[in-house]
């Protein structure tokens, strides 16, 4: 009987199985699932390029981001100045590169730190329940109901503008959301029978909730981290735009955008705000792609 193409395929599979080239997994499942997601990989590549470019900014650009050069004010993009120059003659491309350092640090740093705080509190309180949970819930409500902008104003007027003040405020106002997300997942997970089985072995609370339950709660948290990274970068841009964020002399993406407050610049000098706006949007988009990819790859019940 003639062999169909399906037969040949099965023969191949059988042969490979016999050679045991199947059974050994070289890559971990999460990594290979992530790499199968094209958008996520694309996001990761652009994300890495932007981060590397800002880290190695001094090698990529001959200019100093702070140096004022009044002879070359408001020049349109050219071979010398890729993104043109701003009102004081500083090279916009260089400033975008250096600004990325601060902006990404604030965005990712605050998102990850607030996630760490939120998860640490949320997992434990959600699993344990009782008065710990009630207290944590009320405290998070207080933090979440406090208007961010007033907190910023308050801290800026007391201690002056600084990067770490801004991050502290982002974490203080941001952990509540992460806490609630983690808590809600834990509340539904703790009734699952595998958790009861672990309890019937008398394993410690820490092992049960951080080692065995947390991985199952992680996928929505992962998405939330990326979303809040994006949000923090945008908030930083917004606050800097208002002059409340990072001190104006430090280049950040928000501080660079700040010049667009001037209607004259907005109308006539597009290169001062256009490229940096684009970079912010692209970066935020990439972070969201990565978040989607991470969510899908950490969800064990989805086939990759």
Q: Which of 74, 128, 190, 212 binds another protein (CB under 8 A)?
A: 212
The conformational region for residue 89 under phi > 0 = left, psi -120 to 50 = alpha, else beta, is left
Give me the half-sphere count of Cα atoms (radius 13 Å) on the Cβ side of residue 231. 16
Q: Which two tokens stand for residue 124?
A: 């434990």
Letters for 142-181 (x = contact with another protein by CB under 8 A, - = none) are ----------------------------------------
Contact between 21 and another protein by CB under 8 A: the answer reads no
Please name the residue ranges forming H helices in 190-272: 193-200, 205-206, 214-242, 253-257, 263-268
Piece of the chain touching another protein by CB under 8 A; list 154-162, 175-183, 205-213, 273-281: 205-213
> Is residue 216 near another protein by the rule CB under 8 A?
yes
Quickly tell me which residue has 């907005």 as its tokens: 266
Rule CB under 8 A: say whether 215 interacts with another protein: yes
Residue choice 21, 79, 193, 263 for contact with another protein (CB under 8 A): 193
From residue 76, alpha-carbon distances to 89, 101, 126, 127, 156 in Å are: 11, 24, 56, 58, 35
Which DSSP state fits 11?
H
Distant-in-sequence, close-in-space partners of 290: CB < 8 Å, separation ≥ 6: 40, 43, 44, 47, 226
- Residue range at the interface with another protein (CB under 8 A); choices 114-122, 199-207, 257-265, 274-282: 199-207
CA distance 246 to 31: 36
Q: Which is nearer to another protein, 20 or 71 (CB)?
A: 20
Stretch that binds another protein, among 35-43, 97-105, 159-167, 190-198 (CB under 8 A): 190-198
Among the listed ranges 145-153, 169-177, 195-203, 244-252, the one in contact with another protein (CB under 8 A) is 195-203
**Phi (first) and psi of residue 270, to 5 degrees:** -60, -30
The verdict on 190 binding another protein (CB under 8 A) reads no
Residues in contact with another protein by CB under 8 A are: 23, 29, 192-194, 196-203, 207, 211-212, 215-216, 300-301
């Amino acid at each position: 009987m003639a062999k169909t193409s399906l037969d040949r395929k099965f023969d191949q599979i059988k042969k490979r199985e016999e050679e045991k080239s199947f059974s050994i997994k070289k890559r971990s499942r999460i990594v290979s699932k992530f790499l199968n997601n094209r958008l996520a990989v694309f996001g990761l590549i652009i994300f890495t390029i932007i981060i590397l470019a800002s880290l190695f900014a001094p090698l990529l650009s001959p200019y100093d981001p702070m140096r004022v050069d009044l002879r070359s004010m408001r020049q349109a993009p050219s071979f010398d100045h890729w993104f043109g120059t701003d009102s004081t003659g500083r090279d916009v491309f260089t400033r975008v590169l250096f600004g990325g350092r601060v902006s990404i640090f604030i965005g990712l740093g605050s998102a990850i730190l607030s996630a760490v705080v939120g998860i640490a509190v949320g997992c434990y309180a959600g699993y344990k329940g009782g008065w710990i949970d009630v207290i944590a819930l009320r405290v998070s409500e207080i933090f979440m109901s406090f208007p961010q902008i007033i907190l910023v104003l308050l801290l800026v007027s007391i201690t002056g503008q600084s990067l770490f003040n801004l991050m502290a405020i982002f974490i203080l106002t941001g952990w509540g959301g992460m806490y609630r997300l983690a808590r809600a997942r834990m509340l539904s997970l703790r009734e699952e029978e595998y958790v009861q089985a672990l309890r019937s072995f008398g394993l410690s609370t820490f092992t049960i909730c951080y080692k065995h339950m947390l991985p199952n709660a992680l996928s929505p948290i992962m998405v939330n981290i990326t979303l809040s990274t994006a949000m923090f970068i945008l908030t930083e841009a917004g606050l800097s735009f208002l002059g409340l964020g990072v001190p104006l002399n430090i280049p950040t993406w928000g501080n660079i955008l700040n010049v667009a407050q001037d209607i004259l610049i907005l109308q006539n000098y597009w290169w001062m705000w256009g490229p940096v706006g684009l970079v912010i949007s692209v970066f935020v988009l990439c972070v969201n792609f990565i978040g989607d990819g991470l969510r899908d790859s950490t969800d064990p019940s989805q086939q990759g």
